[in-house]
Structure 1
Amino acid sequence: MQTIRIKAVPADTGHQTGQGAEKDLLPLFAGAAVAVGAVGAVLALVDLSSPLRGPFTLFFLLAAPGAAIGAALRALTPWGRAVVCVSGALAVNLLVAQGMLALHMWSVRGGVVAVAALSSLVLLLTAGRRLRRRAAQRRSS
């Protein structure tokens, strides 16, 4: 059996691999995702009839809790974090819907607001925890 080896390109040659271009596009895709989610939330809250309302709102309902959970679980591997984010987003949406139905308070607007509030709460708690860790590290060093 023959082993195939790939020669590494030295970093100082100026040769750019595809990885740099991917890193440049990541903020662009993140910004586009935030914009699509925000448009979906606004379309649902305003109750504007648009063919984009359903898909964009669904994207918001899946992406907002998924991003919040993903920010809280940075220690996991990327595939593990993706699985946890998707399942956590589905769980948050199902729990919000079940809670609102049990309380006889179901509405699309209320569901979008509740999911946004829970996602914001998780993000704020994560940011607060990181700030406390940084402050503790500064004091100890």
Structure 2
Amino acid sequence: MRINRAVLFWVLVLACAAGAVVALADIQTPARPILTALFLLVVPGASVVGLLRDRDPLAALTVGAAASLVINVLLAEAMLLFDAWSPRAGVATVAVLAGFMWVLRSLYRGNGSAHVEQGAGSR
């Protein structure tokens, strides 16, 4: 079961990366709508779930899915409001936001080392 999860994870990562590359490089392929939509729906949600990894898994996935939809809808509304509609800019903005959340998670959680409790009881 562990190998199947790892394979699924890396297939999803590669598909999302391919969606971003296809959209940013403006490559015309029949898989473009599927890969780009996969990137836009999975990446923001996955970055939010990464921030909530100590929570209940179902609650984290629900919040991640909701956050993904909210980020995409707010981005689309802002681009329409400012008359700056561009699918390439939308993908780039989602990538930058997801990267920012990844950096935030790395700073907040550390890079996988042991978590040191700080507070009044740690002295």
So what's the TM-score if we normalise by structure 1?
Answer: 0.77
Equivalences, count: 120
What runs of 5+ residues in structure 1 fail to find an aligned partner?
1-21
CA distance, structure 2, for counterparts of residue 131 and residue 138 of structure 1: 12
Hey, which bits of structure 1, 4+ residues long, moved more than 4 A? 138-141
CA distance, structure 2, for counterparts of residue 104 and residue 65 of structure 1: 23
CA distance, structure 2, for counterparts of residue 82 and residue 24 of structure 1: 21
**Greater relative contact order structure (CA < 8 Å, 6+ sep):** 2
Amino acid corresponding to residue 3 of structure 2 in structure 1:
D
So what's the TM-score if we normalise by structure 2?
Answer: 0.87
Amino acid corresponding to residue 63 of structure 1 in structure 2:
V
Question: What's 2:82 paired with?
Answer: 103
Q: Which has the larger radius of gyration?
A: 1
Amino acid corresponding to residue 55 of structure 1 in structure 2:
I
Overall identity of the aligned pairs, in %:
33
What runs of 5+ residues in structure 2 fail to find an aligned partner?
none
Amino acid corresponding to residue 91 of structure 1 in structure 2:
V
Of 18, 21, 32 in structure 2, the residue corresponding to residue 53 of structure 1 is 32
RMSD of the TM alignment (CA)?
2.3
Shift in Å at residue 28 of structure 1? 1.2
Where does 1:1-141 land on structure 2 (aligned, <5 Å)? 22-131=1-110, 137=116
